[in-house]
Amino acid sequence: MNAEKEQSDSFLGTKTGRLLFFIVFGLCMVGATFQLWLMWLTEIPLGVPGEWVWPRASQQLGSLLDLLPALLSGLLLIGYLCWSTRPLTSRPRTGAWLFGLVLLGIGWTFALHSIIPVGGGTGRSAFVMFYPRTSGYYFQARFEAADLPKFLTEYETEISDADDPENYLHIGTHPPGLTVLNRLLIDLCNQNPKLSDVVNQLRPPAVVAAMQEIERAHLNDGQELTSGDIAALWLMIALSQLCAVLTVVPLYFLTRQIGSISSARLTAGLWLTVPALLVFLPKSDAVFPFLVLLLQWLWINALERNSTIFGVFTGLLFTFAASLSLAFMTVGVILFLQMLAHYSRSRAGLHPTVGGIVAGVACLLLINHFYDVNLFSIWIQNLRNHAHFYDHNTRTYIDWLLINPVEAAVAVGVPLAVCGIVGAGFLLKKNNRDQRWILVGLFIWIVLWLSGKNMGEAARLWLFLMPYAVLAATPFFARLNTSESWILRRFLPMTLLILQTIVCIATAIQIDGFGFTEL
C-alpha cells in the first residue's frame, strides 16, 4: 500500500497527472449535463423505435417540493459518506459504518420511490411484483405452483412449448428458482398467521392501498387472496429491497483490497446512486448484483488462499444463483477466466476450482434425485427459448451495437461510468496485476455487448454486471485519496458524488422501467 501511495503521489504531483484528473472531472460534468438534458429536455427515443424504447414518465412533478424526500435522503447519504471518509483515525468502525450505510440505503430507496410520478410511488412495488406483465414469479407461485413438487416435475415440459409466447418472452427463459422462493414464502406466511399479521402491519400506506386494489381485482375474478398471500408478497418486496442495498457489503470488502478505507467507503456508497438500481427495484434484476458480488468475494478469497472450502461455498452459491437466472452463467464464465489468469500467474487455483465444481455437480444431482428436477436440461431449454425470442421479434444488430453502450452509461450514471473507464485504465498498469480480475468482468461485458444477445432492455438485463463498473472506478478514487492536495483528495470525489446523486434522482423519476405509462 505504501508503494502504491508513493507511485500515486509522484503521479499526482506532476502537471500531467493533475491535468488528467481535472480533465476527468470535466468529462464527468459534461456527462452529467448530457444525461440530464437527454432525460428531461429532449424527446429523443431511449432505444430503437419500432424495436424497444424505454418510456419516459408521462406525468411531471408538480413542484420542487415534490422532490423533497429524495433530496433530503440524498443529502443524508452524501453527508454520511463525506463524514465517514475523512482522513482521521476517529472514523466509525467497519461494522457500524456498513450498518449505517445499509439503513440510509433503505431510506434512500424508499424516499426516491415515493416521488416517482407513475405507478403509485412506493405502492408500485406491489404491482411490479404481483402481475405477470412486470415480473410474474409471484403470480406463477400463487396460482400455478400450489403443488410445488408437481410444478417442478412438469417445469421442463411446460417451458418446452415453443408456441407459448411466455416461454420465449419471459418465464420460459428463466429457471424455476424465483417461483420456488415465492411459493415457499406464500406457504410460510399462510401456515403462520401471527407472522402474516406482523408482516402486514409493517407495510407503508401506499403499499397497503396498492395491495387492496390487487385484492379487489382478484376477488372480482373469483381468486381470493388470503392475508398470508399478501404478507408473502410484501415480504418478497422487502427482501428484494434489502438485498439490493446489502450489495454495498461485499462491494466494500472487495474495494478495500484495492484502495484505502476512505476510497473503499466512497465507492461502496456510490452503488446506491446507480440509476438502474432505483429504476428496476424491486424486480429480481436489482437483487442479482448482491449475489454476483458475494460470489466474487468468495471466489477471490478462494483463489488468493487456494482454499477448497471457499471453492465449495462458491460452487454452492453459484448453483443457487443459477437456479434463479441464466445471467449467472455469464458470471460463471467470469469466475473461470479469473481462475485461469490467477493460475497463469501463481500456479494456484485448482483446489478451489475442483471443490467448486464437485459441490455444484453434487447439488445438481441431489436436486434431481429428491425433486425430479434436471436443472441442467432446464438451463439448455432456457437458452433455446431465449434464442426463439429473436425469431419473433425484429432487432437490428448495428443499431443496438451503437445504442447499448450509451444506455449502459446512462444506467450506471455517466459520471460514475467515466470514473470506471479511467479506473480500468489504471488497472492495466503493472503494479495493479492483483486487481485485474475486475477487468475480466468488464471484458465479458464487452463480449456480451458485441454478441448481440441483449438487443433491448440492456439497462435492466446488464444490471447484474454493473458492480464491475463501480469496482473499476475504485483505482481512480484510490489515487485521488493519496493526493496531498485538498482539492484532489476531498473536493473532487465529493463533487462527483453529488453529481452522481443528482443524475440518479433525475433518471430514476423520469424512466418508466415497467411500462406504467402504457396502461
Residue 282 φ then ψ, to 5°: -100, 25
pLDDT band per the 50, 70, 90 thresholds, residue 483: confident
Q: Quick check: 438 and 428 in contact, CB under 8 A?
A: no
DSSP state of 123: G
Strand pairing partners for 511? 56
Q: Quick check: 32 and 414 in contact, CB under 8 A?
A: yes
Of the listed ranges 116-125, 173-182, 251-260, 423-432, the least confidently predicted one is 116-125
Average pLDDT, rounded, for the chain: 88
Of the listed ranges 10-24, 213-227, 236-250, 416-430, the least confidently predicted one is 10-24
Model confidence pLDDT, tens digit, residues 294-342: 999 999 999 999 999 999 999 999 999 999 999 999 999 999 999 999 9
Supply the pLDDT for residue 160: 86
Q: What percent of the chain has pLDDT over 90?
A: 61
pLDDT band per the 50, 70, 90 thresholds, residue 120: low
The mean per-residue pLDDT over the stretch 47-59 comes to 85
Supply the pLDDT for residue 4: 46
DSSP state of 487: I
Task: Among 86-95, 367-376, 510-519, name the most confident range.
Answer: 367-376
Closest by CA position to 497, among listed 435, 419, 404: 419
Checking if the pLDDT of 67 tops 90, the result is no
Greatest extent of the chain over all pairs of C-alpha atoms, in Å: 73
Supply the pLDDT for residue 3: 43
Q: How far apart are CA 294 and CA 454, in angstroms?
A: 24
Q: Quick check: 8 and 483 in contact, CB under 8 A?
A: yes
pLDDT band per the 50, 70, 90 thresholds, residue 2: very low
Q: What percent of the chain has pLDDT over 70?
A: 93
Residue partners of 121: CB distance under 8 A and separation at least 6: 113, 114, 115, 206
Q: Cis (ω within 30 of 0) for the bond into 282?
A: yes
**Backbone Cα Rg of the chain:** 23
Q: How far apart are CA 267 and CA 398, in angstroms?
A: 34
Supply the pLDDT for residue 486: 78
Q: What is the pTM of this model?
A: 0.93
Model confidence pLDDT, tens digit, residues 363-375: 999 999 998 899 9
Residue partners of 165: CB distance under 8 A and separation at least 6: 392
Residue 511 φ then ψ, to 5°: -90, 125
Distance of CA 80 to the CA centre of its chain: 22
Model confidence pLDDT, tens digit, residues 333-367: 999 999 999 998 888 889 999 999 999 999 999 99
